[in-house]
Amino acid sequence: MPSIEPRGPRQIVRALKWSWKGLRAAWSYEASFRLEVLVCVVLLPAGLWLGQGAVEKALLAGSLLLVLAMELLNSAVEAVVDKVSPEFHELAGRAKDMGSAAVFLLLVNVALCWGLILWQRFG
C-alpha cells in the first residue's frame, strides 16, 4: 500500500516554493507576462483607490489578476505543446491559439469592468 504524505504546513511551504518558481520562470521567459505584471503594478493600486466599495475594488483588481493567471496557464500550454510537438502541427497551433484567445477574452473583461465602473463613477 502506498504511503500517503500528510498534508500540512510542510506541504503548504512546498506548494508556495513551486508557485514562486513558476512565477519566476514566467517573469524570466515570457515577455507578455512581464508586460501584464507591469500594467498590474500601475492599475491595481489605481483600482483599489478608484473603486467605491468592496465589489468595485474586487472587480477592478480581480479582473487584472485573472489576466495574469490565464497568461500563466497559456504559457504552460505553449511550453508543453513545444515540448511534445516541436514541429508545426495543426492541433498544436490550435491549442496555442486557444490559449491566446483565453488571455484576450480576459483582457476584454478588464476593459469592460474598468470601463463600466469608471463610466458610472465619472460619466
Average pLDDT, the chain: 94
CB atoms within 10 A of CB 26: 19
Give pLDDT tens digits for 57-84. Answer: 999 999 999 999 999 999 999 999 999 9
Q: Annotated active-site positions, please?
A: 71
Render pLDDT for 95-105 as a digit per residue (tens, 0 to 9): 999 999 999 99
Q: Which residue positions form the known binding site?
A: 15-20, 24-27, 30, 71, 78, 87-89, 96-97, 100, 114-119
Where do the domains of the chain lie, and which CATH numbers do they carry? Answer: 9-122 (1.10.287.3610)
Q: Which of 64, 56, 42, 63 minimizes the C-alpha distance to 118?
A: 56
Q: Rounded to an integer, what distance in angstroms lies between the CA atom of residue 90 and that of residue 71? A: 22
Could you read off the pLDDT of 35-53 as tens digits, one per residue?
999 999 999 999 999 999 9
Residues of the binding site for ATP: 30, 78, 87-89, 96-97
